[in-house]
Amino acid sequence: MKAVYIMWLRQLKRYWRSRGRMIGFLGQPILFLIALGFGFGPIYKAAGGGDYIQFIAPGIIAMTALFSGMFSGMEVVWDKQFGFLKETLVAPVSRVSIMVGKTLGGATVATIQGIIVFIVCLIIGFRPMNLIYLPMAFVFLFLIAFLFTALATAVASKLEDMQAFPVIMNFIIMPLFFLSGALFPLNNFPRPIYIVSKFNPLSYGVNGLRMTLTEVIKFGAVFDFLILLILSGLIVAIGSYLFSNVEV
């Protein structure tokens, strides 16, 4: 546990030193929130969907955790390229602890960024329906961040080319994001796409956030929570195995 805490603290310090990059990651979700929220708001309302800001805000918060968590894996590829990871791996601690610590660090940063976007949502008009569920919403936010940070770390552990990482991440991220129901309901889509969305782990994160923030229940909050928890444990186990086989 001490090794995990040290790696977590190192990751936080590392991200804190690159505050400009942290701020830069917030640009895209805020742009999506404002441009789509106000741009498509009247159309969504005219179609009988209600307030689009209320619908889209949980999806954009989840998007922040997804993007930040996935691209945090680039740190691993960067460290491998410049030899920093070798110094960490030769330390007298288990590689599983290193992997878990890095994942926790990246997930913590992604969660903080998600909370910042949540505050921006409040400023532009989003209102949680029941403040009692707010702590649970932040739990869902952390689970989303942890799951996809662990996935990115696992993928990065097998890559050597830093330029290949963002290409692979974009190939994974975009289908996950657009088939999660973050920007629009998937109910009216063709049934094959709707079925595919049920195998999308981000769908359960978006649904969990939407339920806890707006009380719109689709799959059920407990079911969403269990799916994210099980998948997080599975990805961490796979990632730990892959990370333990990284050559020094």
CA torsion sign for 230, 233, 239, 242 is: negative
Rounded mean pLDDT of the chain? 81
What average pLDDT does this structure show over 39-54?
81
User: What's the pLDDT at 143?
Assistant: 95
Q: What is the mean pLDDT of residues 109-117?
A: 90
Average pLDDT over residues 124-130: 88
Q: What integer is the mean pLDDT of 113-137?
A: 90
Helices (H), the chain: 2-17, 19-39, 41-46, 52-71, 74-82, 84-89, 95-124, 134-156, 164-178, 191-198, 201-214, 221-244
Tokens found for residue 165: 């990482």
Q: What is the pLDDT of residue 104?
A: 87
The reply to whether 19 falls in a domain is no
Domain contains 182: yes
Which stretch of 18-27, 92-101, 139-148 has the lowest confidence by average pLDDT? Answer: 18-27
Q: Structural domain of residue 97, as residue ranges?
A: 2-13+26-244
Domain for residue 153, yes or no? yes
Is residue 209 over pLDDT 90? yes
Single-letter residue type at 132: I
**pLDDT range class, residue 137, cuts 50, 70, 90:** very high
Q: How far is 176 from 199, CA to CA, in rounded Å? A: 10
Query: What is d(CA 248, CA 231) in angstroms, rounded to the nearest whole number?
Result: 28
In a domain, residue 60? The reply is: yes
18, part of any domain: no
Q: Is residue 21 part of a domain?
A: no
Q: What pLDDT sits at residue 65?
A: 92
C-alpha distances out from residue 119 to 106, 219, 235, Å: 20, 26, 30
Q: What is the pLDDT of residue 146?
A: 93
Residue 20 in domain:
no
Q: Stretch 73-80: mean pLDDT, rounded? A: 74
pLDDT band at 10; cut points 50, 70, 90: low
Q: Is the pTM of this model over 0.85?
A: yes
pLDDT grade for 66, boundaries at 50, 70 and 90: very high
**Does 248 score more than 80 pLDDT?**
no
Segment among 13-27, 127-141, 148-162, 192-206 with least mean pLDDT: 13-27
How many domains in the chain? 1
pLDDT of residue 191: 85
Give strand ranges (E) for the chain.
none
Nearest to 25 by CA among 86, 83, 106, 102: 106
pLDDT value, residue 140: 95
Which single residue is written with the structure tokens 């989003």? 126
The answer to whether residue 127 is domain-embedded is yes
pLDDT grade, residue 231 (50/70/90)? very high
| Whether residue 14 has pLDDT greater than 70 | no
